[in-house]
Amino acid sequence: MSSTTDYILGLQEEEMRIWICEHLDDEDADEETPGWDELAQEWAYMQASQEEPVEFFDWYVSHSYSDIQRTFHFQIHKLRDLMDMQVAVFHEETFYKMSYAHAVTLMESFLADTVRSLILADNKYFINAINKVEALKECKFTISEIAKQKDGAQGFAITELSKIMYHNIPKVREILKAILGKSLSIDISNVCRITSLRHDIVHRDGKTTDGKLIKVDREITMEAIGHIEAFVNNVSEEIHNHQNA
């Protein structure tokens, strides 16, 4: 490997380290810090989103929004099935914490796919996005940069929106509001509480910032899954009503 390649890889690793430390709110964090591996994976997803093949964009254009809904419900039902498994007492704590966090991941994936689908499948939503979404309004690209992007301005929009943390529900609600051009009458209190606990699970192994251990059992996990399903259904209904108004 050349020294130039080593240098570039070193810069990329340092950029990732800074990003992870900022999200962990710990400038001394390293690979041994709880939550590091999960954020490193999120970083990898973000980088991959900037190199998506053209088929990635074509999928959203050729598939209806209902496909995204069906995918979410299929995956969340599989997670529900897992809840009926017999789990050894010794493994219960880990199993339910992992299941709780995965339920939030499914919701994040649904929200990210929803945003992408809206702005790629309907030009009016794309125009709303570049004019009203804060993450896009301030972006500066030259005409030559846009010309080189295989998917033009939409490709840049997808890249920027892929950097969003989709478990930041208030922020995602504002993005959807901007894209749709209307307020969303959706109660987010339950899913905000759930994403907060997910943060404690992923980054502090189920402890609060003051070190208090949080109990996560089957009942709590099933309740979270129910609230996430209800939230996704409410978002889907709002979008459906807007598209068919």
Closest to 218 in 3D by CA, of 100, 75, 101, 102: 100
Whole-number Å distance between alpha carbons of 106 and 243: 24
pLDDT band (50, 70, 90) for residue 222: very high
Phi, psi of 192 (to 5 degrees): -65, -40
pLDDT in tens, 172-196: 999 999 999 988 889 999 999 999 9
Tell which wins on pLDDT, 54 or 177: 177
Residue with tokens 């498994």: 85
Name the residue among 156, 113, 120, 150 with its Cα closest to residue 136.
Answer: 156
Q: Where are the domains of the chain?
A: 1-36, 50-243
Q: Which tops the pLDDT comparison, 158 or 105?
A: 105
For 27, which DSSP code? T
User: pTM of the prediction?
Assistant: 0.73
Alpha-carbon distance of 67 to 118, in angstroms, equals 13
Higher pLDDT, 1 or 239: 239
